[in-house]
Amino acid sequence: MRRREPVARGFTSVEALVGVAVALSAIAASLVLVRGLQQLAVRAARDADRAAAAQWALDRIAREVARAGLGACPGREPGCPDEPLELLDGGWIGVRADLDRDDPVLAADPEQALAGTFARTDTGNDEVVVFLRRGRGLARVAFDADLESGGRATTAAGEEVVPRDGRVERIDAGPADLPGEGGRGTLYRVTFVNEARHLGTARFRVVEPLADDALDFAVRAWDARGVPLAPCGGDDAAAARACRAAARRVALELTVGRAGGRQQTFRREVALGGPW
């Protein structure tokens, strides 16, 4: 009697289809997982970029604020209205400093032509710097400073500039957001040009972005005894000038947005009054 050999049995059509479906499901799940990991990596990279930009911006602001007053009224003339802090408020700060002192060429031109009624000036209009955050820009930032006059002078390079006359004018630094106002915005560095041809035009003001996704920018100040100062503003009134002159320490806080609606705050503290 012959025994039958067992017959090899393959998958039925139904079994094959089930296997294919299971495999496709596993592949699809893997793709979803990979895509989710990629999105997390992208968000993490963006957060890292925002954090790096915010810290770089605050470091730059801190360096320039720390030099406030360097070269202001170098001749100590009684009528010189220049101040180390031209503007001090809760959401913005403006400083005057000889930022190009280390460059012999830039330090002299156009400052020599800007001196006007004074024996000497070491700070150009581009060395009066305001830092502010702008999103919706519901507030208007302005301060009093000697940046304009009716006179004209020519630099060694042949450029016509506006010399100092010892009288302050209302200087418009542009729109800004109040501290705690919320919403996304950009942190800016605002300076002013020396060229007479831009006086009274939109090009008199130079706006440089420092950090995007800025949710808040706050400025706080203390006097030599550690007493907090109320916002001093930028007026030339005696009380406002005394308030700004009393500042000996400033804290700068920048809050930036992160993925998922989160936020991160960075802080720098700066001592004022030199030595430089």
pLDDT > 60? residue 8 = no
The residue among 71 and 75 whose pLDDT is bigger is: 71
Q: How many CA atoms lie within 13 A of 73 on its CB side?
A: 15
Read off the pLDDT of residues 76-129 as tens digits, 9 standing for 90 and up: 778 899 999 999 999 999 999 999 988 877 777 888 899 888 888 899 999 999
pTM for this structure?
Answer: 0.84
> What pLDDT was estimated at residue 276?
47
Domain range annotation of the chain: 46-271
Read off the pLDDT of residues 13-44 as tens digits, 9 standing for 90 and up: 766 677 777 777 777 777 776 776 665 666 66
pLDDT > 70? residue 5 = no
The residue among 51 and 65 whose pLDDT is bigger is: 65
